[in-house]
């Protein structure tokens, strides 16, 4: 394997869960060479001291963003809170560095909507138009040529992949979609919030953000793009005592009789990372734990006019770091699965 061309990779903000997950995947990626991982608060600390799971695989220390020479990178991943990537992206692009933002800075086309939901002014609204929404199963061609990728959110990935066959085929009423989604606690990130403490979140289940969640406009925009028309969506996220995993239970009203199983299988026939289960299946979140797969089952209970789609992903992989590596592979002409051949961990 001596002659493999390596991509020089930088990671901004490597101390959160998407950061350590990127490191897990990139550490064994045959074409990846990690050159810098930044952290304002932990500069100087060996990455593997914070995450002992990386001992023997990642030898880098965190560097201060100010002293990191990201300009030598082929690609920089932002695994940062919202609002950071937009401040540094232009300079990187100007240096010929491609950017993949795992946060939400470039996901919403309408900057007014973005500013309302994220509560800040956008630093580079002109780049929003250039950014490509990195959902390969919908957008692969554009990703291939992108300089700037808006990596989709975790809920949006699970929900869009589940609704896509129905909306593309036009067989359901787009005005009354329901997404009842359940997420593991790692989706909240590695930061101090009371409701994510073990003694709060374990043996407990609750909905949150029913009145409005930041992923709602992202999902609505994505579904509208897929449907080619505006959609009406009710989105209810729930916090579940899982470390990892999203389970989206999707409801739509069928307008046109349709062989749903076949529709789903054909839509994703050539997609390695979307797996349509046999009829009458119920995908489990653990069946994709640690892997970049989305597994989907479709049901039509009692033969009625309500379609139920069950869609599961690992929120840190297909819902974040894995999908960003998939996007990187596409952008640099690598086989899409490179570095992503991980058998899910069960049990």
Contact status: 157 vs a second copy (CB under 8 A):
no
- Taking the complex as a whole, the smallest distance from the CB of residue 39 to a second copy amounts, in Å, to 14
The CA distance from 85 to 106, in Å, is: 9
Whether the CB-CB separation of 147 and 296 falls below 8 Å is answered with: no
Applying CB under 8 A, the site for a second copy has a residue count of 88
Establish whether 154 is a catalytic residue. Answer: yes
* Given the residues 124, 154, 258, 294, the one annotated as active site: 154
Report CA-CA distances (Å) from 346 to 25, 41, 242, 315: 18, 35, 14, 16
Contact status: 225 vs a second copy (CB under 8 A):
no
Whether the CB-CB separation of 283 and 277 falls below 8 Å is answered with: yes
**Which stretches of 17-95 are assigned E, i.e. beta strand?**
32-38, 75-78
Residue span binding a second copy (CB under 8 A) among the ranges 73-81, 162-170, 263-271, 292-300? 292-300
Contact status: 169 vs a second copy (CB under 8 A):
no
Q: Say if strands 148-150 and 98-101 run parallel, antiparallel, or are unpaired.
A: parallel
Residue span binding a second copy (CB under 8 A) among the ranges 71-79, 86-94, 231-239, 262-270? 231-239
Among positions 45-74, residues that touch a second copy (CB under 8 A) are 51-57
Residue span binding a second copy (CB under 8 A) among the ranges 15-23, 103-111, 117-125, 157-165? 15-23
Which CB sits closer to a second copy, 164 or 307? 307
Q: What is the DSSP string of 84-112?
A: SHHHHHHHHHHTT-EEEE-SSTTT-S-HH
Contact status: 221 vs a second copy (CB under 8 A):
no
What character string, x for contact with a second copy (CB under 8 A) and - otherwise, covers 175-214? -x-x-x-x-xxx-x-x-xxx-xxxxxxxxxxxxx-xxx--
Given the structure tokens 């933002």, which residue do they identify? 101
Whether the CB-CB separation of 219 and 232 falls below 8 Å is answered with: no
Which CB sits closer to a second copy, 130 or 341? 341
Q: Calculate the CA 99 to chain-centre distance.
A: 15
Contact status: 318 vs a second copy (CB under 8 A):
no
């Amino acid at each position: 394997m001596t002659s493999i061309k390596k991509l020089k990779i930088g990671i901004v903000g490597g101390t959160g869960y998407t950061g350590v997950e990127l490191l897990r995947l990139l550490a064994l990626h045959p074409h990846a060479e990690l050159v810098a991982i930044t952290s304002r608060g932990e500069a100087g600390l060996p990455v593997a001291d914070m995450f002992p799971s990386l001992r023997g695989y990642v030898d880098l220390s965190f560097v201060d963003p100010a002293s990191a020479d990201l300009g030598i990178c082929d690609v920089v991943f932002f695994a940062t809170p919202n609002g950071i990537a937009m401040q540094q992206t232009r300079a990187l692009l100007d240096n010929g560095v491609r950017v993949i933002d795992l946060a939400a800075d470039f996901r919403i086309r309408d900057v007014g909507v973005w500013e309302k939901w994220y509560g800040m002014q956008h630093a580079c609204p002109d780049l929003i138009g250039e950014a490509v929404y990195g959902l390969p199963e919908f957008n692969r061609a554009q990703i291939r040529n992108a300089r700037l990728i808006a990596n989709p959110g975790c809920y949006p990935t699970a929900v869009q992949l589940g609704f896509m066959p129905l909306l593309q085929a036009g067989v359901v009423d787009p005005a009354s979609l329901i997404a009842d989604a359940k997420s593991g606690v790692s989706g909240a990130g590695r930061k101090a919030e009371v409701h994510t403490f073990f003694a709060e979140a374990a043996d407990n289940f609750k909905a949150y953000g029913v009145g409005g969640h930041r992923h709602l406009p992202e999902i609505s925009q994505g579904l509208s793009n897929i449907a080619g028309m505006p959609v009406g969506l009710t989105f209810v996220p729930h916090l579940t005592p899982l470390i990892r995993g999203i389970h989206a239970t999707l409801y739509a009203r069928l307008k046109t009789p349709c062989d749903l199983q076949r529709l789903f299988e054909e839509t994703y026939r050539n997609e390695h990372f979307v797996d349509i289960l046999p009829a009458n299946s119920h995908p489990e979140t653990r069946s994709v734990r640690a892997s970049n797969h989305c597994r989907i089952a479709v049901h039509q209970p009692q033969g009625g006019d309500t379609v139920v789609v069950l869609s599961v992903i690992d929120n840190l992989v297909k819902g974040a770091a894995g999908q960003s590596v998939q996007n990187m592979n596409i952008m640099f002409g690598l086989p899409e699965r490179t570095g992503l051949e991980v058998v899910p961990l069960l049990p």
